[in-house]
């Protein structure tokens, strides 16, 4: 538990500020920054599997969805689920990835940082699983949610990033990630997955969850991890840390000027790391089509997986 508390303190700054990015237009593609939030009906999710981690403690506001920036978001998630996107069996590599969308732990970018990523991975022969993890409660109505985000930004805008407003308890989210790994391993034979080749990729706050899951010393033990526009704060790296892929835009308003301590930490521990620093892209580019080179992060990530021999089925 002491190690987990230390980890939460070390990533807390990045996670708190990640929430601000989703609250503001920073996470939007440039051509859609004025798009408004529009409530939508809860979409059909016939393949979603309940993870059984229970309801979010103290939650009273039900799950709701909205569209923005031509994409789909969910907030007030109180029950975690995992949605499989399986490749054509003829293309299956045996490798799998848990995909953790971002949203500052107050909502989740389910399409741009979840379903679209998973579909693209499945097309490359990689089984993908979108983790809809539990998030902190926000006002029931959409205008109230927007006001709460504006207030959050106003409080945090002048605060030093090493001391962000409020604490952050990641226990529910880490429990959801652990349950996701356990489920995929339990059904690995059914889904044509090698249980030793399950990685995790996360975006913004989802990147923070990916790192927290990796460093918490629990039974998840991802085989490789991807940190996409997440905090690059330095961490204590275990001797058996998995290969790390990092993608960040230099003009990211949250993490672009915070140094590269995470990279130095991995290199100092002599663990494999690949780092892509794109000149432009901002925060939250995900799978949005943009003219910046940051759009190439996905192809680079897949090539990196292949470089580690994970795109070929074991003989």
Whether 295 maps to a domain, the answer reads: yes
DSSP the chain: -HHHHHHHHHHHHHHHHHHHHHHSGGGS-GGGTTPPPEEEPPPP-TT-EE----PPTT--SPPEEEEETTEEEEE---S-EEEEEPPPTTT--S-EEEEE--STTTEEETIIIIIHHHHHHHHTT-EEEEEE-------SSHHHHHHHHHHHHHHHHTS-TTS-SS----HHHHHHHHHHHHHHHHTTTTTT--TT-EEEEEETHHHHHHHHHHHS-SS---SSEEEES------PPPTTPPPEEEEEETT-TTTTTS--HHHHHHHHTT--EEEEEESS--S--TT---SSGGGGHHHHHHHHHHHTT-SS---
In DSSP terms, 254 is beta-bridged to none
The pLDDT of residue 195: 98
Nearest-angstrom CA–CA distance, 121 and 200: 12
pLDDT digit string, tens, across residues 54-113 = 999 999 999 999 999 999 999 999 999 999 999 999 999 999 999 999 999 999 999 999
Question: How many CB atoms neighbour CB 129 within 10 A?
Answer: 27
Whether 314 maps to a domain, the answer reads: no
Average pLDDT, the chain: 88
- 9-13, 32-36, 94-98, 107-111: which has the minimum mean pLDDT? 9-13
Whether 312 maps to a domain, the answer reads: no
Whether 313 maps to a domain, the answer reads: no
The pLDDT of residue 174: 98
Whether 30 maps to a domain, the answer reads: yes
Nearest-angstrom CA–CA distance, 197 and 29: 33
The pLDDT of residue 121: 98
Whether 315 maps to a domain, the answer reads: no
Of residues 169 and 24, which shows the higher confidence score?
169
Of residues 31 and 148, which shows the higher confidence score?
148
Domain with residue 270: its CATH number is: 3.40.50.1820
Q: Look at residue 205 and tell me whether its pLDDT is greater than 60.
A: yes
Domain that holds residue 225: 2-307
Whether 66 maps to a domain, the answer reads: yes
The pLDDT of residue 298: 98
pLDDT digit string, tens, across residues 256-299 = 999 999 999 999 999 999 999 999 999 999 999 999 999 999 99
Nearest-angstrom CA–CA distance, 14 and 26: 15
Q: Look at residue 38 and tell me whether its pLDDT is greater than 50.
A: yes
The average pLDDT across 247-264 equals 97
Share of the chain above pLDDT 90, in %: 80
The average pLDDT across 100-129 equals 98
Domain count, the chain: 1
In the chain, the N- to C-terminal Cα span, in Å, equals 40
Q: Look at residue 250 and tell me whether its pLDDT is greater than 90.
A: yes
Confirm if 47 and 299 have CB atoms less than 8 A apart: no
Question: 149-182 burial, b if ≥16 CB within 10 A, otherwise e?
Answer: beebbeebeeeebeebeeebebebbbbbbbbbbe
pTM of the model: 0.91
Of residues 21 and 211, which shows the higher confidence score?
211
Q: Look at residue 40 and tell me whether its pLDDT is greater than 90.
A: yes
Whether 51 maps to a domain, the answer reads: yes
pLDDT digit string, tens, across residues 129-173 = 999 999 999 999 999 998 988 887 676 555 544 433 335 789 999
Share of the chain above pLDDT 70, in %: 84
The pLDDT of residue 295: 96
């Amino acid at each position: 538990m002491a190690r987990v508390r230390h980890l939460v303190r070390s990533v807390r700054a990045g996670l708190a500020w990640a929430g601000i990015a989703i609250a503001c237009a920073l996470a939007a593609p440039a051509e859609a920054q004025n798009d408004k939030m529009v409530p939508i009906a809860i979409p059909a999710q016939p393949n979603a599997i309940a993870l059984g981690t229970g309801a979010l403690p103290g939650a009273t506001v039900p799950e709701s969805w909205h569209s923005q920036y031509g994409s789909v978001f969910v907030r007030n998630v109180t029950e975690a689920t995992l949605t499989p996107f399986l490749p054509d069996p003829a293309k299956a590599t045996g490798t799998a990835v848990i995909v953790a969308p971002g949203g500052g732990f107050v909502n989740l970018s389910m399409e741009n940082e979840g379903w679209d990523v998973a579909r693209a991975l499945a097309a490359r022969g990689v089984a993908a699983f979108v983790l809809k993890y539990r998030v902190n409660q926000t006002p029931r109505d959409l205008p109230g949610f927007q006001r709460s985000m504006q207030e959050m930004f106003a409080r945090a805008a002048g605060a030093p990033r090493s001391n962000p407003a409020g604490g952050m308890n990641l226990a529910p989210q880490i429990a959801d990630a652990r349950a996701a790994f356990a489920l995929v391993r339990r059904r690995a034979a059914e889904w044509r997955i090698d249980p030793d080749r399950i990685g995790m990729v996360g975006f913004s706050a989802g990147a923070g969850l990916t790192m927290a899951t990796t460093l918490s010393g629990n039974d998840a033990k991802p085989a490789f991890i991807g940190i996409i526009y997440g905090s690059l704060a330095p961490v204590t790296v275990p001797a058996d840390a998995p290969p790390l892929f990092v993608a960040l835009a230099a003009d990211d308003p949250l993490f672009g000027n915070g140094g590269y301590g995470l990279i130095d930490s991995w290199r100092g521990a002599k663990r494999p790391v690949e780092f892509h620093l794109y000149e432009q892209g901002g925060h939250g580019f995900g799978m949005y089509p943009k003219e910046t080179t940051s759009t190439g992060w996905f192809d680079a990530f897949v090539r990196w997986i292949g470089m580690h021999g994970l795109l070929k089925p074991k003989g």
